[in-house]
Amino acid sequence: NPSPYDVAQGGLGDCYLLSALCVLAERPGRVHRLFRTTEVNAAGIYGARLYLHGEKRLVLVDDALPARDGRPLFAASRTDGELWVSLYEKAFAKVYGSYAAIEAG
């Protein structure tokens, strides 16, 4: 089950996004609704639901996450095997064009 304690900020200044994810994680069902599927899949492709300018969008991302020396560069979960934090941050960055574009809100 998703938990606010899963959320760990990485090297990116996007605490505005991560704090919102923490609030959503207070009710795990809300986190489950952020994704088209909550199951790990062999293809490594996930659909994240975002609302942008009042419009609902489904953003597809893969589970290839930026890392250095085996450690995530950006947001991650403190719980082993939980990908939801990293995947949602990646979807948000994809919509805005890059991780750099979501720095500092």
Tens digits of residue pLDDT in 38-76: 888 899 999 999 999 999 999 999 999 999 999 999 999
Rounded distance between C-alpha atoms, residue 76 and residue 64, angstroms: 13
Rounded distance between C-alpha atoms, residue 20 and residue 28, angstroms: 13
Average pLDDT of every residue of the chain? 95
Give this prediction's pTM.
0.94
Domain locations along the chain: 4-99
Q: Which residues does the annotation mark as catalytic?
A: 15
Rounded distance between C-alpha atoms, residue 68 and residue 86, angstroms: 15
Of 91, 69, 82, 74, whose CA–CA distance to 25 is shortest? 82
Mean pLDDT, to the nearest integer, of 6-17?
Answer: 97
Q: What per-residue confidence (pLDDT) applies to 71?
A: 93
